Structure 1
Amino acid sequence: MPGSFNFNNPPFDTLSESERQLVINNLDLSYHADGDIIVQAQQPTKGLHIIHKGVVEERNGTDHEDIYAHYTHDDMFDIRSLFSGTSKHEYVCLEETICYQLPRTTFDQLSSQNTRFRRYFQTDLVDKQQLMKQEGQQNLSEFILNKIEPDNILPLQIVDADATIAEVTLQMKQTHTDCALIKSDRGYGMLTGTDLLHASVLERMSVDTPVASLAHYELISVQTGDFLFDAMLLMTRHKIERVVVYDSLTPDKVLGVLTLTHILSLLSTHSHILALRIARANDAADLKRAVESLDELIERLMTNGIKSRFISKLLSTLHEQVVSKVFDRHVPTEVQQHCCLVFMGSAGRNEQILKGPLDYGLIIEDNYAWEACQPTMQAMHAELVSLGYTPSKGEVCVGNPMWAKPLKQWLDQSNRWILDPSSENIQKIATVFDVHGVAGKLGLSHDFQQRQLRQISSDHLFVRNFTRPALQFHTPLTFFGQLKLSWHSLDLNRGGVFPIVQGVRALAMEQRLPLSNTFERIDELAHNGVLDKGLAGNLAEALQLFLQLQLEQQRSGDQQPDAQLLDLGTHSRSQRDLLRHALHVVKKFKQYLEVHFHLENP
């Protein structure tokens, strides 16, 4: 029977042939009936237990009332006792169970001679995720995680403002570049080969004309240390083909340029091609065909091992492009200067991957009269529905007059919700707090966000009440192992995603952070010392895992409303192990929130 032991599961997949033989030679197999206690509390540990068949419950060894977790096929349990010497809790069979037991002496021997084996049992969620990746794995995710460094930046010529068209053209030819940076009294400006061509041929300017007036001075830039992926997102969002790179150590020093062609040679995701198709769509039919390609892009990204955090940022950007295109087609240009289309909820946080329900609204400039607002917004909403952007349960959309109105009415409405913090109103505040400008006069979105932050953060009692929903759902650690019961599905949204998103949102509210993305909020909270860096890193990894599991389930064809219920029976032991660790992180975070906001778990 030990010969059938599964060495494909981490960390046993790190063992050499001789180490595997050591395991086989020393592995014991034990049979237990329903109700048998495999490990007594406060007793010396005998070794590592791995379940071959059955279900084991971890519980308080004194009164048996507190249940901590369940374990099933391929799960390991009572790991902490291997380092403490004695078992803290009791482990009892819930059905007939067969267990492997690796003696402690063998475990210690493997730990002393195999660093990766030992590290698996001593690391947090961040490191465990890394250890579970196969060594030598080469996929697109490695390129996406590459950072901007001097060796992957293209050179950029910097020329004086009084240089002529002829001189700059000659420089570009000699240096084999298609752009240059113009240094003038207005700062730096970008000049491309296309600009020179238009000036010479279409405008018929003299080749002796100074180039200062031809440059574009509103530069989009990145700096060393940023992700290449983020540079690509900027290009997609602003519909440009190059960004200037500054030195992160010397912010006013230009190091070079990154072009779209150069990045796409590293990031072959076809996302920018899709963005171009969206931008060039002439009618609803063209746009619909482009939108239908989003699912194919998601499939390609997941197949290439891209993390859900990056997929969500990229897809959110493309969703913005689609909605902006529809907005441009329905709203006259002169009106766009007086209103701002905003995303809220998961779309506002840049965490929405699939089309599905979309929370979005329109902020109109105070004292601006637009009589055609309601019929225009309803027509726009109807087109978005036809593209697959269905309204959310609360009808948070521009087709609902409640979500398309002047700025002052948005603020007054928000203030009423703050003064009456019912569960429904807290949910509405959570939606609008994650606001993000998409099209039109973006300053209106920024103004609303800043004024709303001042309204909310000064009301400490409201912030405490706002935090409570993050604690109302129990962390579902005891669901593990109940694979034969009808209720073996785990509500990943309530038990994992929501507590992190809501808790981090409450901390951002308290700290007045003008950020909407949960991952960015976590990073900033850690940077400001509000969150311990270790907890922050584990929170980000846990949220990323939850989103990944949800996406995989939806990708498999289950896109029903209850798709957030995760079927544990379809997941391997290593996946359940990561999930269990992630849920422990959630539990620890909720305990932190209780202490930080002086709350009691309801």
Structure 2
Amino acid sequence: MPEPFDLSSPPFNRLNGQQAKLLTSSLDVAYFRRGDVIIDKEQANESLYVVIKGRVQEIHPETKEVQAQYIKDDLFNAKALIKGHAHHRYRAVEDTLCYVLPKRVFMTLHRENTAFSDYFSTSFSQRKRLMEKAQQQQNLAEFILTEVDESNIQPIQTIAHSTSIHDVTRMLRRHRQDCALVALETGESEVGIITRTNLLHALVEDEKALTDPVGDIATSPVIGVEIGEYLFNVMILMTRDRVKRVRVTKDGETVGMLDMTQVLSLFSTHSHVLTLQINRAHTIEELALAANNQQQLVATLTNNGIHTPFVMELISAVNEQIIEKAFQLTMPEAFQSKCCLFVMGSEGRGEQILKTDQDNGLVLADDTHWPDIEHYMDRFSEVLNRLGYPPCKGGVMVNNPRWVKSQSEWKSTISALCKISDERSLMDLAIIADSKAVAGNKALLDPVMQRLRETLSGNMLALNTFVRPCLAFRVPLTLFGSLKTEKEGLDIKKGGIFPLVHGIRTLALEKGLTETNTFERLTALTACNALDEETASNLAEALKLFVKTRLQQQLDSESHGSNQLDVSRLSRSERDLLRDCLSVVKRFKERLASHYQVRD
């Protein structure tokens, strides 16, 4: 006998108790031999099917192309029931066992339960947002258990009661702090707190003198918490007592201060701690310690439901800070204003999450004479390797002289690459097209990028070759069944991410857009009517899903460089969304082939 029907997965988790009872009491089980046609095109069928075991292919009857495959827990034929007939043929390619739900029961549930019907009638992007919202609520409990420790508190001064208002004001300014503790004379262990606002009010409203003791205007008592307390409890304490700051103690002794703004920022992300470590680094060793914490930040954000575009943007900013700091620590100060370090690829687009290979280049001011530049470029590449950015297998790095040129040489190179207009030259242009300045004199890159846009804007002949790489890989909709054995994976980069990103990049270059981030390019393409809003939205949601799904499996398996998805680890709803997203990419590729008149 099959296992009990799973009512915990979408869309069946949206049914109330009575509806769930109706569903389970109406289920039957059907067995299909390998090769059996379960539903044929245009057939008026009478059942919804949920796979218990085996594999079913959805096939276009004319072209014989496999549209999708269904494995354990996948449901199929819902759209055909709603529309009245099937557009494709469904065939068992293995001996298959299915739950069978009569059409009359399915349509009753569809009619009576809006949340259930929305699952089948809304677009995949809407379903994805609903799933992400549920995930955020589920993970909130884990996220609020962050503890107060030395890494997330601020230092604070404790001053004597008799210190003058004038001296305290200068001290706060010198230490760039907005508050201090005051040792009160009323008791050995009693402290008050003084803020810049207190000082201002004392001088202006109370007409205190600059020589008056600060202890007279300090506020007490001061709310305190011990190291190890949960930040969530600290936030509740601040809200309940209507205070903006709390004193942090360890065994009764002051060790720091927390303010409300800081607590709220800690709940949104731990990135500010990492940023402080980067900014304070004075050696490569100190910078490496900060860089090593980056993966933990990614895992924390991802596991707690933070939206993928936000994670991309945040980690991109952190990466830029790490690379810029490495540049400052490595390069001679005299030359830092005469060159521009730029990054390319996913890092240049602001879409890198986990560290990937180095992809960088250097623009030199035309009048720069730097005899030992190769030594410093080699050293810089070695430093990035130490920080967790491995060398680029294709040699797209500053230790390769091919990627270090003067501004004039870069502009000439771009013009020459476009004139050659073969696939390799245009792929070099594609790499450069996603460039972003991160260190040095960033303005040096602008004329280079302007030359690239001017050269390719509206150049349909060059773009015909430029777009071809994204049309070369088949969308992997037909690989789901084989992945169940876990002997191979679905290459989401070749089958989904690359064709989507490169296709959007091609359209952006055609229109001469300045944006490099894929999401920003989609917005700009919509604004200039190159894409309709629905297509742009679907492409954006598809990219988010691809990146998020890959990242989750990379973090779980620690295979940080892998683009292979193990589809058997995905839930039914996740597989449904993945299939929808890949279908979006497939339609987009067909549109690109037609637009650029690519006939292979």
**TM-score for the superposition, normalised by structure 2:** 0.78
Q: Residues 131-210 of structure 1 correspond to what in structure 2 (within 5 A)?
A: 131-133=130-132, 135=134, 137=137
Give SS of 2:540's match.
helix
Residue in 2 aligned with 1:568? 567
Spell out, residue by residue over 1:283-320, the C-alpha distance to the aligned partner (whole angstroms, 9 max, x if none). 12111111111111111111111122221211111111
Residue in 2 aligned with 1:440? 440
Deviation at 1:577, TM superposition (A): 0.9
Deviation at 1:423, TM superposition (A): 2.5
- With over 3 angstroms needed to count, the CA separation of the structure-2 counterparts of 1:484 and 1:316, relative to structure 1, is closer
**What is the distance in 2 between the residues matched to 1:371 and 1:261?**
52
Residue in 2 aligned with 1:450? 450
Spell out, residue by residue over 1:232-288, the C-alpha distance to the aligned partner (whole angstroms, 9 max, x if none). xxxxxxxxxxxxxxxxxxxxxxxxxxxx97375155322011111011111121111
Give SS of 1:99's match.
strand
**What is the distance in 1 between the residues matched to 2:500 and 2:440?**
32
Residue in 2 aligned with 1:335? 335
Moved more, 17-26 or 73-82: 73-82
Give SS of 2:481's match.
coil
Asked if 2 retains the 8 angstrom alpha-carbon contact of 1:27 and 1:103, the reply is yes
Q: Residues 346-385 of structure 1 correspond to what in structure 2 (within 5 A)?
A: 346-385=346-385
Asked if 1 retains the 8 angstrom alpha-carbon contact of 2:458 and 2:511, the reply is no
Q: Residues 37-436 of structure 1 correspond to what in structure 2 (within 5 A)?
A: 37-62=37-62, 65-133=64-132, 135=134, 137=137, 262=261, 265-268=264-267, 269-436=269-436
Moved more, 336-345 or 325-334: 325-334
**What is the distance in 1 between the residues matched to 2:14 and 2:76?**
19
Letter of the structure 2 residue corresponding to residue 594 of structure 1: A
Give SS of 1:395's match.
coil
Residue in 2 aligned with 1:241? none
**What is the distance in 2 between the residues matched to 1:340 and 1:574?**
46
**What is the distance in 2 between the residues matched to 1:384 and 1:484?**
38
Q: Which has the larger radius of gyration?
A: 2
Asked if 1 retains the 8 angstrom alpha-carbon contact of 2:139 and 2:303, the reply is no
Asked if 1 retains the 8 angstrom alpha-carbon contact of 2:2 and 2:52, the reply is no
- With over 3 angstroms needed to count, the CA separation of the structure-2 counterparts of 1:524 and 1:424, relative to structure 1, is same
What residue ranges of structure 1 are gaps of 5+ in the alignment?
144-165, 170-176, 180-191, 198-206, 208-259
Give SS of 1:592's match.
helix
- With over 3 angstroms needed to count, the CA separation of the structure-2 counterparts of 1:140 and 1:357, relative to structure 1, is farther
1:29 and 2:20 equivalent? no
Residue in 1 aligned with 2:542? 542
Asked if 1 retains the 8 angstrom alpha-carbon contact of 2:11 and 2:119, the reply is yes
Deviation at 1:465, TM superposition (A): 1.4
- With over 3 angstroms needed to count, the CA separation of the structure-2 counterparts of 1:280 and 1:178, relative to structure 1, is closer
Letter of the structure 2 residue corresponding to residue 332 of structure 1: P
**What is the distance in 1 between the residues matched to 2:429 and 2:263?**
39
- With over 3 angstroms needed to count, the CA separation of the structure-2 counterparts of 1:133 and 1:396, relative to structure 1, is closer
Identity %: 38
Residue in 1 aligned with 2:587? 588
CA RMSD of superposed structures (Å): 3.0
Spell out, residue by residue over 1:324-382, the C-alpha distance to the aligned partner (whole angstroms, 9 max, x if none). 11111222333222211101111100111122302011101112222222111111111
**What is the distance in 2 between the residues matched to 1:472 and 1:408?**
34
Deviation at 1:596, TM superposition (A): 2.5
**What is the distance in 2 between the residues matched to 1:137 and 1:486?**
31
Asked if 2 retains the 8 angstrom alpha-carbon contact of 1:23 and 1:106, the reply is yes
Deviation at 1:532, TM superposition (A): 1.1
Deviation at 1:9, TM superposition (A): 1.5
Asked if 1 retains the 8 angstrom alpha-carbon contact of 2:422 and 2:465, the reply is no
What residue ranges of structure 2 are gaps of 5+ in the alignment?
144-165, 170-176, 180-194, 201-209, 211-258
Asked if 2 retains the 8 angstrom alpha-carbon contact of 1:342 and 1:360, the reply is yes
Letter of the structure 2 residue corresponding to residue 340 of structure 1: C
**What is the distance in 2 between the residues matched to 1:267 and 1:82?**
49
Deviation at 1:35, TM superposition (A): 1.1
Residue in 1 aligned with 2:533? 533
**TM-score for the superposition, normalised by structure 1:** 0.78
**What is the distance in 1 between the residues matched to 2:572 and 2:488?**
15
Q: Residues 449-598 of structure 1 correspond to what in structure 2 (within 5 A)?
A: 449-484=449-484, 488-559=488-559, 563-598=562-597
Spell out, residue by residue over 1:109-145, the C-alpha distance to the aligned partner (whole angstroms, 9 max, x if none). 111111111011011121111233465816679x9xx
- With over 3 angstroms needed to count, the CA separation of the structure-2 counterparts of 1:358 and 1:533, relative to structure 1, is same
Deviation at 1:321, TM superposition (A): 0.8
Deviation at 1:484, TM superposition (A): 4.8
Give SS of 1:335's match.
helix
Letter of the structure 1 residue corresponding to residue 356 of structure 2: G
**What is the distance in 1 between the residues matched to 2:349 and 2:133?**
31
**What is the distance in 2 between the residues matched to 1:314 and 1:55?**
41
Deviation at 1:579, TM superposition (A): 0.5
Asked if 2 retains the 8 angstrom alpha-carbon contact of 1:479 and 1:488, the reply is no
Deviation at 1:518, TM superposition (A): 0.7
- With over 3 angstroms needed to count, the CA separation of the structure-2 counterparts of 1:362 and 1:3, relative to structure 1, is closer
Letter of the structure 1 residue corresponding to residue 540 of structure 2: A
1:18 and 2:18 equivalent? yes
**What is the distance in 1 between the residues matched to 2:597 and 2:396?**
32
Deviation at 1:528, TM superposition (A): 2.1
Letter of the structure 2 residue corresponding to residue 70 of structure 1: Q
**What is the distance in 2 between the residues matched to 1:398 and 1:60?**
50
Give SS of 2:394's match.
coil
Letter of the structure 2 residue corresponding to residue 105 of structure 1: R
Deviation at 1:559, TM superposition (A): 2.4
Asked if 2 retains the 8 angstrom alpha-carbon contact of 1:385 and 1:391, the reply is yes
Asked if 2 retains the 8 angstrom alpha-carbon contact of 1:140 and 1:306, the reply is no
Deviation at 1:488, TM superposition (A): 4.5
- With over 3 angstroms needed to count, the CA separation of the structure-2 counterparts of 1:133 and 1:407, relative to structure 1, is closer
